[in-house]
Amino acid sequence: MVPEQTNQERYEVGIRTLQTMVGDQGVQMIKQLGEFFPDFGHTLVAFGFGDLYSRETLSLKEREIITITSLITQGAMEQLPFHVHAALNVGMRPQEVLEIVLHCGGYAGFPKACGALNVVQKVFQERNITPSAT
């Protein structure tokens, strides 16, 4: 059993987890949300990344598979670039990202998958990634 952590400790764990996932630029982006609405930013970091993402049962890559899938099925494309970058940073191959999009098309519908593919394409362009054909 993990000892109870203070809110500040959870926040610090969240920042370290974010640093691993998205580096300084991503951490700054999250901190900017906190400047606009401090309670939201603190909760997002402490709970989302300090409590959920830092758990040990699933790897960060596995968590990003779940998150990307969830975002696509919800049509939450605004959050998708952040998580595609994070997924690539924690070891997901570009072809795996594309496979998630394709698979979601069968369950969430191709309009959502097409929206996701547009987002993924922009992230790949930013990172100079050319996906290989399968």
CATH of the domain at 102: 1.20.1290.10
What's the confidence (pLDDT) of residue 52?
Answer: 96
Same domain, 97 and 131: yes
| Tokens describing residue 54 | 């830092």
Q: Are residues 78 and 125 in the same domain?
A: yes
75 and 44 share one domain: no
Q: How confident is the model at residue 33 (pLDDT cuts 50, 70, 90)?
A: confident
Which of 35, 57, 79 is a domain's end point?
A: 57
| Residue 1: per-residue pLDDT | 40
**Which of 9, 30, 57 is at the close of a domain?**
57
Of 41, 57, 73, the domain-final residue = 57
Which two structure tokens, joined as six digits, stand for 19?
């640093």
Shared-domain flag, residues 50 and 65:
no
Q: Which residue has the tokens 């606009």?
A: 36
Domain count, the chain: 2
DSSP state letter for 131: P
- Same domain? For 15 and 74 the reply is no
Do residue 24 and residue 80 come from a single domain?
A: no
Q: Highest mean pLDDT range out of 28-32, 40-44, 78-82?
A: 78-82
Average pLDDT over residues 68-89: 98
The residue type found at 18 is L
Burial class (CB in 10 A: 0-12, 13-18, 19+), 24: exposed
* Residues 53, 65 share a domain: no
User: What's the confidence (pLDDT) of residue 5?
Assistant: 80
Give tens-digit pLDDT for 85-120: 999 999 999 999 999 999 999 999 999 999 999 999
Q: Locate 22 and state its tokens.
A: 């998205």
The domain of 16 spans 1-57
Given a cut of 60, whether residue 51 has pLDDT beyond it is yes
Same domain? 109 vs 53: no
What number of other Cβ atoms are within 10 A of residue 17's Cβ?
Answer: 22
Predicted TM-score of the model (pTM): 0.90
Same domain, 20 and 69: no
Give residue 134's pLDDT band: very low, low, confident or very high (50, 70, 90).
low
